[in-house]
Amino acid sequence: MRTLRTIQETREACRGLERELGYVPTMGALHEGHLSLVRAARTRCRSVAASVFVNPTQFGPSEDYDAYPRDEAGDSALLEREGVDLLFIPAPAEMYPDGHCTTVHVESSLTGMFEGASRPGHFDGVTTVVAKLLGIVGPDVLYLGRKDAQQLAVLRRMTCDLDLPVEVCGGATVREPDGLAMSSRNARLTAAERRVAPRLYAALVAARDALRGGAACDAAVSAALHVLDGAAVQPAQAPGGPRFEVDYIAVVDPQTFAACGGSVVPRHALIVGAARLGRVRLIDNVRFGDDADG
């Protein structure tokens, strides 16, 4: 595996890789979810590139950029073991040199709600860095996780609208045995918070079950909130223990992220949720019409 740190070297090296070229962009602190995307790329493509870059422009001023976990040596070892051909690890100054003043913005009809409302400017940071990375690597197939469902929808919209010559493939969410969606931020949960954290997934499954039973969307959301409050989970949450601060739970269209209403729910709908548990903000989703939760 070649490890490169400059845009020029990476662009030239990627041009020399055999096609198809699959690409997995990451912010590091890799886990099985990331590696599943690498394996999907390895199965289909002749060559695989990956990147590790903690992108500062997608973090808000009160978010955890400095505290975001970093393990370059461990990440490199994992990617080499999975057969990645090229790893790009740029410094922030390489990606955003002095004078950089261009932002890629997807219209607020898709980016202004849910994650976009909770994290102003977040999606502009994501679309800008991914557009730059695609221009550097030039892949045929871009592999992204479906856990970040709104991000996936935004990047699909961006690549379509800008006529970028890349296919976007979404990989299924990889979960811990207790259902918690794998995330680099999970390492920041305390032991008590980690025991409670799978309740977000349980809440979304409860909403899906309610919808399948004929409940309207608002009743399904209420069922999810009931689980997060601890009343429907045994053993009940101890007084004074970790509690969720719910950001949103909703039933949405996975392409537009428009909220679904009433009792007629499209089979392709997603139940999405985000909640803060201590210092960590968890997001997750399940698909209404599929028992595969990714």
Length of the chain counted residue by residue: 294
Beta bridge pairs of residue 246: 275
- Average pLDDT estimate for 101-125: 95
Closest of 119, 291, 277 to residue 200, by C-alpha: 277
Q: If pLDDT is split at 50, 70 and 90, which confidence band does 238 have? A: low
Packed helices 149-161 and 122-137: angle between N→C axes, nearest 10 degrees: 60
Q: Where are the domains of the chain?
A: 2-171, 184-287
Q: Do the beta carbons of residue 185 and residue 280 sit within 8 Å?
A: yes
Q: Do the beta carbons of residue 7 and residue 93 sit within 8 Å?
A: no
Q: Return the pLDDT at 294.
A: 55
Q: Return the pLDDT at 61.
A: 85
* pLDDT surpasses 70 at 232: no
E strand or H helix that includes residue 47? strand 47-52
Greater pLDDT, 86 or 60: 86
Q: If pLDDT is split at 50, 70 and 90, which confidence band does 261 have? A: confident
Q: What is the SS3 assignment for 85?
A: coil
* pLDDT surpasses 50 at 125: yes
Quick one: what percent of the chain has pLDDT higher than 90?
87
Supply 203's token pair: 């809440």
Q: Return the pLDDT at 234.
A: 45
- Average pLDDT estimate for 137-147: 98
Span 170-208, pLDDT tens digits: 999 999 999 999 999 999 999 999 999 999 999 999 999
Query: Mean pLDDT across the chain, nearest whole number?
Result: 94
* CA distance to 41, 87, 154, per residue, from 292 (Å): 20, 31, 22
Distance of alpha carbon 33 from alpha carbon 144, whole angstroms? 10
Catalytic residue among 34, 105, 122, 226: 34
Characterize 258-269 residue by residue with b for buried, 16 or more Cβ atoms within 10 angstroms of its Cβ, and e for exposed. ebbeeeebeeeb
Q: What share of the chain is helix, strand, coil (3-state, %, to 5)?
A: 40, 20, 45
* pLDDT surpasses 80 at 292: no
Q: Return the pLDDT at 235.
A: 46
In the residue annotation, 34 being an active-site residue is answered as yes
Beta bridge pairs of residue 95: none
First to last CA, the chain: 30
Q: If pLDDT is split at 50, 70 and 90, which confidence band does 167 have? A: very high
Q: Return the pLDDT at 8.
A: 98
The whole-angstrom distance between residue 117's C-alpha and the CA centroid of its chain comes to: 16
Q: Return the pLDDT at 62.
A: 79
Q: What is the SS3 assignment for 150?
A: helix
Closest of 242, 185, 189, 148 to residue 64, by C-alpha: 185
E strand or H helix that includes residue 199? helix 199-212
Q: Return the pLDDT at 9.
A: 98
* pLDDT surpasses 80 at 121: yes
* CA distance to 23, 109, 161, 168, 231, per residue, from 157 (Å): 18, 11, 6, 10, 39
Please tell me the CATH superfamily of domain 184-287, with its number: Pantoate-beta-alanine ligase, C-terminal domain (3.30.1300.10)
* pLDDT surpasses 60 at 72: yes
* pLDDT surpasses 90 at 276: yes
Q: Return the pLDDT at 239.
A: 58
Quick one: what percent of the chain has pLDDT higher than 70?
95
Fold for the domain defined by 2-171: Rossmann fold (3.40.50)
Q: Return the pLDDT at 64.
A: 80
Provide the 8-state DSSP code for 232: T
Q: What type of residue sits at position 222?
A: S
Q: List all residues 6 or more positions away from 158 whose beta carbon is below 8 Å from its beta carbon.
A: 104, 106, 127, 130, 131, 164
